[in-house]
Structure formats: C-alpha cells, structure tokens
Structure 1
Amino acid sequence: MHAFDGSHPLPWQGTWRTGFSGLGPAFLTHLQPTPLPDAQWVAQSPQVAQLAGLPDGFMQTEQALQAFTGNAVLPGSQPYAGVYSGHQFGVWAGQLGDGRAITVGETAAGWELQLKGAGPTPYSRGGDGRAVLRSSIREFLCSEAMHALGIPTTRALCLTASHAPVYRETAETAAVVTRAAPSFIRFGHFEHFAARDMQSELRQLADYVIDRYYPACRSGWQGVDSEGAPVPGNAYAALLYEVGQRTAHMIAHWQAVGFCHGVMNTDNMSVLGLTIDYGPFQFLDAFDPSHICNHSDHQGRYAFNQQPQIAYWNLFCLGQALLPLIEDQDVTVAALEAYRPAFSQAFRQRMCDKLGLPRAAQQHTAAATPVIGRLLELLATHRIDHTIFWRRLSRSAQDGDFQRTRELFLDSADFDRWLLSYQELSAQSGQALDANLMLNTNPGFVLRNHVAQEAIHAAEQGNFQVVQDLLRVLQHPFDEHPAHGAWADFPPAWASSIAISCSS
C-alpha cells in the first residue's frame, strides 16, 4: 500500500471534505484497503466521474486504476469502514458494519466514494471482505441503470478486476466496484446507537444528517394541518417524516418498473431514500406479484408485493431508534403513518404516467385506480412480461393500434374489456393519451437476469466489451437500440433457472 508522490503527478490533488469521517471513532475505523494483483479496468461511468468532481482524464490514468482497486491511497484520503447494526430478515442481528466496503472519502463535490470488495474490515465478521466479478458486474450495471430509469439510487463510478481467487460456492475471480453517493448512512446506523443507549452519539448522528442533508427539518414537524401542510415541531420527527416520504417515492418507483430488491434489511435502507446494496435483485420477467427473487429468502419476506409494507416496517424500526430524540410516541407514529398515503399517491402517479394520462388531467386518479388494479390482475393472471407489455402499450398509444399489445394475451377478450375501460378513462380526462410520456416512462431495456448473465459470462472469459455495451444501452433505456434488440426481447427459457442469493 502506498500513497502517490511527486514522481507520479496527479491531475487531481486529492481534496476531500471531512463529512461523515469527522464524527469520530464511535462511528468508524480508519484502515487501508488490501491490494489485489494484476488490476485491470472492466468499465467506467464518465457521468459519475463528472458528478464526483474528478478532473478530465483522471480515470484514464494508471493512478486511478490502482487507487480504485485498493492498491494505493490518493493524496489526502483517510479510508475508513463504518459501523452500524440492523434487522436482517426481520430478526435483530446486532452489530454489522461495512464488512467489505471501504470509504475512500468525500470529494470536494460532496460525493462519497466507496470501494466494495477491497478487503476485510473490523466488521467483516470472519469474511474475506472481497467481492466477486459476477456480483460486482451486477451492482455496477444496475446502479447506473436505475439512475437512468429515474429511480433514486447510489451510483457506480467504475469496476476493476483481478485474477486473484475468491472462494464462494466455487472459486471465482475478485473485483472491486467503486460506488458513489452523497452519503451511505443507513437506518441501521441509528439502530446501532439506539440499541446501545448511546444517546449522545445518536443525537450527533441525527444532527449531522439534518444539518447536512435535511436542513429544512430544523423547523421541526408534529403533524400536518387540514390541507396537508407540515406543522412545525420536533426536528427529529421532521427527519423521520422526510425519510419516510423519500422512501415512499423510491418504493413507488420500484413497484412501477417491476424491480425486486431481494434483501430489504434495515441495514440496506438508505436514510436518503436511495436504492442501496445491489445483491439478489431482479427486474420482473413475467408479472408475478408474489415473485421472490432471492433464493435465500425461504419465507418470501421480501417478495415483490411485500416491498411497500417492508419499507414501512423498516421505517418503524428507524422510528423506534429516533424515539429517544423525538420524545413523543404519538408524534413518532404520526410521522411514520405519513408514509402510507405518500406511497399510495406516488404509486398512482407513476401508474398514471405509465398509462399516458396527461399530467394536467391526473386529478382523475380516483377513476384510474380500478383501471390500474384490473390491469395488474390481468398481467398476473396471464403472466405477461412486465417490461414488454408496458413498452408495447406505449407504442400502441402512439400508433393508435393495440393489436401487438393484444397479442400478448392468450385470451384477447380479457384485454379488450380492459382496453375499453382504459379508453373510457382517457375520454373522461378530456385529453388524448400522452404517448411521449409513456415512452419516457416505460423503458424498453432493463437489466434482466439473463442479460446480466450474458455480460458476466463474457467478462469471466476476459471479454469486458459486453459489459461496456450493456452499460451504454442501460444508460438510455427509453431509446431504441436496434443493434441490441435482443436485450429487449422475451427472456430465454433458461432464464428462469438463474438462482440469485444473498451471496450474489
């Protein structure tokens, strides 16, 4: 491990903000990443490099390759791993922490950079702290794909690989994904200090989050008035309320696009309402509300249709952790309960957009609710491919011809009955369906499991071009990509046999 010196001049001189690392030793442990041999680039996201304030050309240097593989420390960086606790599959797991993630620091632009797979930390719980190429490709691609879909998420700066072996079910090769976010603070951070009755640290953490990310919460919250406007009160209740609102909007996005997270433990929930920790995720193929994407989830706790309720359960845990600061159970419950209508409203909004109801006419959402509900029932009954259905419906609205959408249904009469109610709903709004809104809401391309597997297989053979091509497509999911049309087609039969678990 070494720091860069004057013999290897850097275009970026390593200016870091103190940020989370300034909270003190109760929150983190400073340590060095563990080097990997024969580092090589797999893929990069220039958008994230720009967001993070990295200078032009830096990501093309050998210095960047070594730094983002954990083989060197950038000037001024003081890497660390953070501690937190949490509930896993509904059971209190006690202390957890960054077991295979090491934060490089926070750039002057306000983005934390974190190496996932850079070796063991004090919180690895006997693990090797490494990540395999397979899971790293999935996280890298999905982070950027979700952003392009408009879904709040952590980002991914780059992905590097090494020939060093990592042992899971079998021997695999190592990789490091550098992820980026304004903050990686989780619900579990608050649970950690609350469970240990460390109220001074709990308050310090909450104050940091409020002052840094939710400054409006200083005016407080104790409920809403008859018009739904916040009533000033407790700042920590305001924080809980705002986290709930952001979480509601994130989950509404997930449900609308057919995204299954797979492992919604409280330590995998971002206090900024970001999708975080991409493990056994999946985008739905055939629409199945009870689909379980995580083969480690034997009870189906994190099934697709359970995600909205699980988010509320996790917020309840956060509310319990914040209760010593809020000091009023009724206000805490009120802040929590605001999640439910926020989710319902956000989900209706997303579905109305998917149906092409003009924004100016969406006061008709009450009339849209049964139309949406009946459609979801039909998609489940007929096991219609989720992404393909919505994209075809968008094209049908644009062309005025619904035949290609009708062909997806074995019993077209079911679809025709629904189509009539859909057209009546459009007529009630007094405006034509907004096909452009639909085409910019319903993607043609999502990171399906079998598509990710294609990129993984090529990468394991030393060919990273498929990962790079797939990244470019996923960064523009609403565009047509004729050269890669197969990635928008029906999944092959073998796709259903892909097993994704917590080790993925």
Structure 2
Amino acid sequence: MLRMHTLADLITPTRFGQLPAAFYSPTPPTPLPGPQLVNWNAELAQALGLAAAGDDPALAEYLVGNRLATDAQPLASVYCGHQFGVYVSQLGDGRAILIGDACDVQGTLHEIQLKGAGQTPYSRRGDGRAVLRSSIREYLCSEAMHGLGIPTTRALGIAGSPERIWRETVETAAVVARVAPTFVRFGHFEYFFYQGEHELLRTLADWTINHFYPDCHGADNAYLALLDHVIARTATLIAQWQAVGFCHGVMNTDNMSILGLTLDYGPFGFMDGFDAGHICNHSDDSGRYAYNQQPQIALWNLHCLAQALLPLLPDRDAAITALHRFQPLFEAAFAEQLRRKLGFAVWQESDWTLVTELFELMHASRTDWTHFWRTLGEAGASTTLRDLFVDRAAFDGWLAQYQQRVAQEGGDDAQRRTAMQQANPRYVLRNHLAEIAIRAAERGEFGEVDRLLVCLRHPYDEQPEYADYAALPPDWATSLSVSCSS
C-alpha cells in the first residue's frame, strides 16, 4: 500500500537551492497568527502522495509557513524584468518563498512555493503578504486552467489568517501553496545578462537545460536550442489562451515562465462579451496587455529573453532567425485550436476568412465568448445562436457559410458535435463566479470555493448540478474590475 505523506515529511531540499548564492537569498517565512485552512486540493495532493487534509492537524500551520519541514530550504530568488515595457533592474520573489521540492507518485519533482508568506529581500517596500481575495483568485484560476488542459502552475492549498492587510481597503491575509516544475522566468535570465554576470547566465541556462530540456544537449548550440524550445512553448500557450478567451492582464517579462506555463495570476480575466481589445486590468491604461495584443507581447517578451541569451548564442542573426519562427508557430497552434472549436477535420487557409468574419460579428455584438462556442457545437442551436447577435441577418449569412464548409467535409454530425464539446468548455472561471466565492470566504464560508473547484476540474463535461456556473453573467458583473493588486 502506498504510504501517504504529510507536508512535513514530503519536502526535500530544492534543486534551485543548489545554484550559486547569487541566485537567491535564504528567507524564512514570517509567521501568521491563527491560520485556518480555506481549501485543500485533494486531487493534486493525491498526485503528490499527500495525506488527506483531515489526517494532518498541523496542515494550516505548514501552508502559511509557521512550521517548516525538516528538509525545507526556504529561499527567495532574484530576477529583473520589463514591466509594462520599462526595464526594472531588480525585482525578485517579493512575497513568494520557495520552501523545497516534492516528488510526486510518478517520480517527478516539483517546487513548492508559499505565496504571501512574508517579506523577502526583494519586497521593494511591500509587506510580502497576499490577501484572501487575490489568493482565492489564483487558487481557482490555476486549477481552472489545468482543467482546460492549458499549461500552468498549480495550487495545492490555501490558508487564511485574521491578520489585517492594507490594499485598496483593509483585507485579511492568506497564503497559497503553489506547485510547478520550476518558477524560473524570463526575468531570471535578464537579471544576469544586465548585471554582466555572463558565467552565471550560463550556469542558469545549463541548469534549465539539464533539468527541463535535456535534448538541447544534442544540438549544435544548446542555448539556441533552448531559445527555440521556449519560443515554441510560448507560441502554443498563447494560442491556448486566445482560444478560451483568457486575458493574463500583466504580461511582464518577469511573469513569463521559461517552461511555457501560465504564471502569476493577478488581474486576469476570461472574457464574457467578446471585445477584441478587451483590457482585463484596470491598471493597464494604454491597453498594452489587451486580448488582441497578447500574441505580439509574447513575441516582444521573447525578444527580451533572446537579448539576455545573446552572450551564449552563436550571433545575433541566429537569435533573430529563431524569433521569426514565433509567428508561424503561433498561427499554426491557433489554427489548430480553431479547427477543433469549429469542428473541422482539416484546417484550410480559407478558414481564416471565415474566422475573421465571425470575430467581427462577435465583436460588434459583444457576443458571449464561452456561450457562443459551446452552443455552436450543439444540435439545433441556430435559433439560439441568432439571439446572440445584433445583426441577425449578417450572422445568418455567416452561419450558412459555416454549414456549407462543414458539409464539404462530410462525416458524422454526432461525432463532430462530441468533438466540439471537448474543444469548447461549458465552464470557465468568470470574474463574477470568483467574486461570489470570495465574498462568501470573507464571511468565513469556504464551501463555494470548493464547489467551484470541483466543477472547474471538468470544464468540458455537462454537469447539470453546476448549471448556474454556465449561465450568462448577471448585469452587476460588468461593474467588476481587477488591477495589479488583485
């Protein structure tokens, strides 16, 4: 019988801590009073071989960092980055502390990080804390993205405390235990490049290749191969974001994962009504990180990474050639997403025209993104679909073209609809759903967090018991806003 661990005995010293001291600062968590378990991700815990929450009476103490495993190695890493296009010379883990690694039941190592565990040397006058509101948003969305099949950091558990924290108003503190193979970002590479520490840059690149991209060793230049891999993963990730209407909100280079994971959930949002220029972060006055800007911002960020890797690359031309691969890779990945969403067996170049016309119609009517795509794949949905558009005649024309395109391929309609359901989620973490869970949690009622979590694990399945989560957003949802403090 498999032995189930507690957090106290699962943690081992982290691989990141084996890097030279210039990469991090040893940083113990700052204790939080009266920790209380808000939610425990039983599914992820089981994958890590962890005992049930009820079998570990000290779980909340470990989740907030009041207690540490014997082999814990708490540290905060240093990095820099371009924030809203402006270079900032030193950032780092300002409120996240890496406590160690954990090996899952498959033998894969993951880093365990406590976000909101107190000040670090990189807090930049911040308090190092996270509030319950933002912690619940990250906890739910990282697991929602995992359910959607989109690469992401994960969330193991969340614990709250009555300690008061000032943001826009006074709120209570919380800590999220985050899990990922590594939390290394583009900004880690930028830091050592701009510091002129090129041997340490090489050390970091070698560490990344050895642990996560070992096939790069077979290339003529392993570091150019590393850049190629990151470009490809990032292109695929952004295509997946666009396909589900996800907006990150703050795509700074320090929020870009070297593994192509969705990283750092702050002012994110899933679109309700489709707006090509949707801005989910009310701190983003210029719309730099709007929905339709995400692909080009990803490329801009990759340029920053390539710049940082230049001392290790054959020459600048090699980096430029690699970066030129992003756009066709993104377009191919997005076309594949759209092919599946539309129920086509094969993507044709002319399908871009069909998609462009659809996006224009949806944008003009602010058609609900998630509801439209799910309904498109359902039998007898044409009347329901018409009601989602202001110009119904124009949509009728588009639908006729679409139906003609489907008919050209032939095939079984029932099989096509089933396949479309697996490409178009019924459930996403809409802002108002997260807000309802947050308001309940702030009253000490955590059941809604768990209910949402259970539903979002299976976003493509019909779950009649969660029909309320699939409904169109209420009018009050339009007044919700999120910012960099969210």
User: What are the superposed Cα offsets for residues 315-361 of structure 1, whole Å, 9 maximum, x if unpaired?
Assistant: 00000000100031111111111111000000000011001113xxx
Structure 1 alignment gaps of length 5 or more? 1-8, 221-232
Residue 15 of structure 2 aligns with which residue?
Answer: 19
**Structure 2 partner of 1:72:** 67
Q: 1:416 — aligned with what? A: 396
Give me the whole-angstrom Cα distance separating, in 2, the residues matched to 1:483 and 1:432. Answer: 30
Q: Deviations over 1:93-125 (max 9, x none)?
A: 110000000011111330101000000000000
1:428 Cα deviation from its structure 2 partner = 2.5
- Greater Cα shift, 407-416 or 211-220: 407-416
Equivalent pairs: percent with the same residue?
52
Equivalence for 1:319: 306
Distance of 1:416 and 1:442 partners within structure 2 = 21
Structure 2: where are the runs of 5+ without partners? none
CA–CA separation in structure 1 for the residues paired with 2:135 and 2:7: 27
Is the CA contact (8 Å cut-off) linking 2:31 and 2:64 kept in structure 1? yes
**Among residues 421, 446, 460, which one is paired with 1:478 in the alignment?**
460
Q: Partners in 2 of 1:325 and 1:128 — Cα distance?
A: 37
Question: Which among 73, 93, 98 is matched to residue 93 of structure 2?
Answer: 98
Contact 1:12 1:55 in 2 (8 A): no
Question: What's the CA shift string for 1:158-203, capped at 9, x where partnerless?
Answer: 0110111011111100000011000000000000000011011100
State whether structure 2 residue 367 is matched by structure 1 residue 384: yes
- Quote the residue 1:347 is aligned against: 334
Pick the aligned partner of 2:40 from 25, 39, 44. 44
Q: 1:95 aligns to what SS in structure 2?
A: coil
Matched, 1:440 2:422: yes
Pick closer, same or farther for the CA change 1:328–1:455 going to 2, 3 Å.
Answer: same
Distance 1:337 1:47 in 2: 40
In the alignment, is the contact (CA less than 8 A) between 1:133 and 1:172 conserved in 2? yes
Alpha-carbon contact 1:238-1:335 (below 8 Å) kept: no
Structure-2 separation of matches of 1:386 and 1:93: 36
1:406 corresponding residue in structure 2: 386
Name which of 464, 470, 478 aligns with 2:446: 464
Alignment of 1:206-221 (within 5 A): 206-220=205-219
What are the Cα deviations for residues 234-292 of structure 1, in whole angstroms up to 9, with x where unaligned? 11111011000000000000001000000000000000000000000000010000011
1:138/1:278 contact within 8 Å kept: yes
Q: Equivalent residue of 1:68, what SS?
A: helix
Asked if 1:157 corresponds to 2:170, the answer is no
Q: Is the 8 A contact 1:244 1:339 kept in 2?
A: yes
Secondary structure (helix, strand or coil) at the match of 1:16 reads coil
For the residues of structure 2 that align with 1:218 and 1:40, how far apart are their CA atoms?
47
Deviation digits for residues 208-227 of structure 1, max 9, x if unmatched?
1111101111122xxxxxxx
Name the residue aligned to 1:35. 31
- The answer to whether the 8 Å contact 2:375/2:381 transfers is no
Instruction: Tell me by how many angstroms 1:13 deviates.
Output: 2.5
Query: 1:444: how far off?
Result: 1.1
Aligned-partner residue type, residue 120 of structure 1? Q
1:5 corresponds to: none
Aligned-residue CA RMSD (Å): 1.5
Give the direction of change, closer, same or farther, for the CA distance of 1:122–1:54 in structure 2 (3 Å limit): farther
On the 8 A contact 2:101/2:110 being kept in 1, the answer is yes
Aligned to 1:107: 102
For 1:277 and 1:55, how far apart are their aligned partners in 2? 24
**8 Å contact 2:132–2:174 — kept in the other structure?**
yes
Equivalent position of 2:125 in the other structure: 126
Partner residue of 2:407 out of 417, 421, 427: 427
Task: Report what 1:86 is aligned to.
Answer: 81
Partner deviation per Cα, 1:455-475 (whole Å, 9 max, x = no partner)? 000000110001111111111
Which deviates more from structure 2 when the two are superposed, residues 307-316 or residues 233-242? 233-242
Tell me: CA distance 1:436–1:10, structure 2 relative to 1, closer, same or farther (3 Å): closer
Farther off after superposition, 174-183 or 367-376: 367-376
State the partner residue of 1:227.
Answer: none
Report how far residue 12 of structure 1 moved.
5.8
Q: Which amino acid aligns with 2:483?
A: S
TM-score by length of 2: 0.95
Q: Which amino acid aligns with 1:320?
A: Q
Tell me if the contact between 2:132 and 2:172 (Cα under 8 Å) persists in the aligned partners.
Answer: yes
Question: For the Cα contact (< 8 Å) 2:13–2:72, is it kept in 1?
Answer: no
Do the aligned partners of residues 58 and 21 (structure 1) sit closer, same or farther apart at CA in structure 2, a change above 3 Å counting? farther
Q: 1:14 Cα deviation (Å)? A: 3.7
Q: Any conservation in 1 of the 2:6–2:51 contact (CA below 8 Å)?
A: no
| Structure 2 CA distance for aligned equivalents of residues 394 and 493 of structure 1 | 26
Q: CA deviation at 1:424?
A: 1.8
